Amino acid sequence: MSQLIKNGRVITATDDYVADIFIEGETVSAIGKNLSVKANKEIDASSMLVFPGGIDPHVHLDMPFMGTFSSDTHETGTRAALFGGTTTVIDFVLQTQGKSLQSALDNWNSRAKGNAVGDYSFHMAVTDFNENTKKEIKHFIEEEGITSFKTFMAYKGALMIDDRQMIGLMEEVKKCGGLINVHATNGDMIDYLVQKHREEGKLSPLYHYLSQPEVTEAEAAERFVDMANFTGCPGYIVHLTCEGALNAVRNATKRNQKVFVETCIQYLILDASLYEKDFEGAKWVMSPPLREKKDQETLWAGINQGLVNVVATDHCPFMWEQKKMGENDFSKIPNGHPAIENRMELLFSEGVNKGKITLNKYIEVACTNPAKIFGMFPRKGTIAVGSDADIVIFDPNKKHTLSAKSHHMNVDYSGYEGWEVTGKVKTVLLRGEIAIENNECKIEKGFGKFIKRKKVSQNI
Ligand SMILES: [Zn+2]
């Protein structure tokens, strides 16, 4: 099977030109002007942008939580991602404290295998680092192709590891060629504030926000950066939201340290005023919470300064009924919001279209950097001869409105209801196969492959 995408404006992290793209099987085999090749199918992409499939390296699909599960499965979540131009996602496997990493992976595989529509990989969240866990790290990197290890500096008693475990894990991960992702917030400070607010009868979603002030994130980011510097382990801060935390990273660059930073689309375009809407604010209860306008400016500037490397989602949807578990207590609201389908279009509309970032930067933070940092480049994250033909054909002028009525995520509300967006995904190819066309998904569950990743490089 071969396909020819004709006359599109091809955008990568570094290029911008009009050309034809010839695809044979799963990969791109030629790029050039007026290619004279015979293809089984031709797609006219005149006046369209043609860019690499998006990579969302921070999603939680079918994640067990408080006796329930995040509402998108690997099937519905990766399908919704494809509708929004994201062809590969990286989901988090969570170790249960007292059990092995392998048993957690087996558990996640049992839900993901054969169900994913789009391509996926896993990060391994280490919640209990001990002599047994230590022995598993090398195997994960070399045999499983899982090279990134998530740590939590918060959620004591469930997910959090202490600094002693963090240092030990960093040394082992560095030795084996992996990377540490971190949820960098000060768990003890947050636990104290949550308890204080509950005792004072302050129970609305607003107090979720007020229990996680900027300092709780800035302090932990700085501590993590120092530990990464001490051990020499590559570090990646997930969902960084604020000026104080980014300044910790900025300071680290002064001693020639590189720490990767991810923010999420919501932190760039939504702010904490949404928590003033009584219980409706639960739609945006996530950790860290939304911040202030000044933090949005910091994050956009950080992208252009090369300090913020990735824009992800932390997609973790819950139905409104599930959110209502915390109707009388903000600390019982399941954390997370849906965005896997909206990220690429929102970042284009709010970022590129409003002149905050260039088209090349857009591709860099949404496609190329996630592929490079997490060991999938150049197979994923760019359009080049030999790369997987994961390609988005995008209409940059098409206006549309985001709504729970039309999205494909398995969740009954949208965090962006009524949001006017300029730019729409038109056609998506995944490994040379048409995945999305005419607003329909053309591939079935099970098409999505687990992508084994290479060891990480600190130089991107
Ligand atoms: Zn997350």
**460 has pLDDT over 80:** no
All residues at 6 or more sequence positions from 163 whose CB lies less than 8 Å from its CB, including other chains? 223, 227
All residues at 6 or more sequence positions from 333 whose CB lies less than 8 Å from its CB, including other chains? 205, 208, 282, 285, 323, 325, 326
- Summarised one tens digit per residue, pLDDT across range 344-396 is 999 999 999 999 999 999 999 999 999 999 999 999 999 999 999 999 999 99
Ligand 1 centroid – CA 58 distance (Å): 6
Q: How far apart are CA 43 and CA 3, in angstroms?
A: 8
- Summarised one tens digit per residue, pLDDT across range 6-54 is 999 999 999 999 999 999 999 999 999 999 999 999 999 999 999 999 9
All residues at 6 or more sequence positions from 143 whose CB lies less than 8 Å from its CB, including other chains? none
Residue 457 is predicted with a pLDDT of: 66
**459 has pLDDT over 80:** no
Ligand 1 centroid – CA 150 distance (Å): 10
Ligand 1 centroid – CA 240 distance (Å): 11
All residues at 6 or more sequence positions from 195 whose CB lies less than 8 Å from its CB, including other chains? none
Query: C-alpha angle 245/248/254, rounded to 5°?
Result: 150
Ligand 1 centroid – CA 134 distance (Å): 23
- Summarised one tens digit per residue, pLDDT across range 38-50 is 999 999 999 999 9
Residue 380 is predicted with a pLDDT of: 98
Ligand 1 centroid – CA 60 distance (Å): 6
Q: What is the 3-state secondary structure (H, E, C) of the chain?
A: CEEEEEEEEEECCCCEEEEEEEEECCEEEEEECCCCCCCCEEEECCCCEEEECEEEEEECCCCEECCEECCCCHHHHHHHHHHCCEEEEEEEEECCCCCCHHHHHHHHHHHHCCCCCCEEEEEEECCCCCHHHHHHHHHHHHHHCCCEEEEECCCCCCCECCHHHHHHHHHHHHHHCCEEEEECCCHHHHHHHHHHHHHCCCCCCHHHHHCCCHHHHHHHHHHHHHHHHHHCCCEEECCCCCHHHHHHHHHHHCCCCCCEEEEEHHHHHCCHHHHHCHHHHHHHCCCCCCCCHHHHHHHHHHHHCCCCCEEECCECCCCHHHHHHHCCCHHHCCCCECCCCCHHHHHHHHHHCCCCCCHHHHHHHHHHHHHHHCCCCCCCCCCCCCCECCEEEEEEEEEEECCCCCCCCCCCCCCCCCCEEEEEEEEEEECCEEEEECCEECCCCCCCCECCCCCCCCCC
Ligand 1 centroid – CA 377 distance (Å): 23
**Burial environment of residue 257 by CB neighbours within 10 A (0 to 12, 13 to 18, 19 or more):** middle
Average pLDDT over residues 211-233: 98
Calculate what percentage of the chain has a pLDDT beyond 90: 98
Ligand 1 centroid – CA 24 distance (Å): 36
- Summarised one tens digit per residue, pLDDT across range 429-454 is 999 999 999 999 999 999 999 999 99
Ligand 1 centroid – CA 152 distance (Å): 10
- Summarised one tens digit per residue, pLDDT across range 306-359 is 999 999 999 999 999 999 999 999 999 999 999 999 999 999 999 999 999 999
Q: Give the mean pLDDT of the chain.
A: 97
pTM of the model as a whole: 0.98
